[in-house]
Homo-oligomer: A and B are copies of this chain.
Amino acid sequence: MEFSKNNTNFAKSIMTTDTFVKQKAIRVKDDSGEYTIAGVAKGAGMIHPDMATMLCFITTDADIEKNYLKTALKRATDCAFNMITVDGDTSPSDTVIVIANGLAKNEIIKNGTGNGFQKALSELCIFLAKCIAKDGEGATKLVEVHIEGAAAIGDARLASRIVANSPLVKTAIHGNDPNWGRIIVAIGRSGAEIIENKVDLYLNGVCVMKQGKPIDFNKKSLSKNMADNKTTTIHVNLNIRNGSATAWGCDLSKEYVTINSAYTT
């Protein structure tokens, strides 16, 4: 489902360095009835957990209990807008708002009903969050960092965000360099619990480290693979317990420097 032309123009009018409109609508059919959730977001630079600088407005015609809606938005934001980074910088103007008007006349959603709402809201927020990361100032690629097997979910969140925000990882990806060393070092400084000889690391699905030992992979071919894909995926299994999280970021290009050092009196 697409926004109308007028809505797209509104979205364009609130963009600054954004290069494309970030919007999505999801039609949900669940045990409470049928309703729609739609969202539009803005943001490209000064992006870092938690959120800044971005705006996101979500509307739904679902009939939903206020506290349930609040909790659902917090959950969705935590695994979406709070897991993206462009440059590590933040600003005071972060906003994610959801408004529900109940016009869908579904059975009111609260704990135990409307089982599709949280799933759809999280999907919508993750979609918009990934759009922001992908549209990072000067970015040529979306970077997805998935950490699993962490000692706790907090460790997985921390490590994935540190990797996604590392200038050295970001520049390596910009240069299509399958530089697993920079990734491991970023995880190492994150503070997450690590058992060195347990770490498995995959780059765009290719295993480059198994149980802490570098695997002899074809660098040239993996570099070409990275060059050919608009998304670079970093997948790490710490093989400790079952904490997992995903963070999104982008590569660091000369264009980022150009955009942010341009100055005219």
**A contact residues vs B (CB 8 Å cutoff):** 45-46, 52, 87-92, 165-168, 171-172, 174-177, 179, 182, 185-186, 188-189, 219-220, 223, 252-254, 256-263, 265
Q: How far is the CA of A257 from the CA of B172 in the complex (A)?
A: 9
Contacts A254-B258, A257-B254; A90 near B263 (Cβ below 8 A)? no
Closest 3 CB pairs of A and B: A175-B261, A177-B263, A171-B260
Task: Give the residue among A89, A165, A182 with the most B Cβ atoms within 10 A.
Answer: A89
Q: Which residue of B lies closest to A184 (CB)?
A: B92
Smallest CB–CB gap between A253 and chain B, Å? 6
A45 to chain B, nearest CB (A): 7
A178 → chain B, closest Cβ, in Å?
9
Contact between B87 and A167 (Cβ–Cβ < 8 Å)? yes
CB distance from A141 to the nearest CB of B (A): 11
Residue pair A88, B263 in contact (C-beta under 8 Å): no
Sample 12 A-B pairs with CB under 8 A, ordered by A number: A45-B168, A87-B167, A89-B167, A89-B185, A89-B189, A91-B185, A167-B256, A172-B260, A174-B257, A175-B261, A179-B263, A254-B254
Q: A89-B185, A92-B188, A186-B89 are in contact. Are A167 and B260 (CB under 8 A)?
A: yes
Docked Cα-Cα span, A177 to B172, in Å, equals 28
- Alpha-carbon distance A188/B53, docked complex (angstroms): 14
CB pair A253 B257 closer than 8 Å? yes
A175 CB contact (under 8 Å) in B182, B220, B223, B262: B262
Contact A260 B88 (CB under 8 A): no
A252 nearest in chain B by CB position:
B257
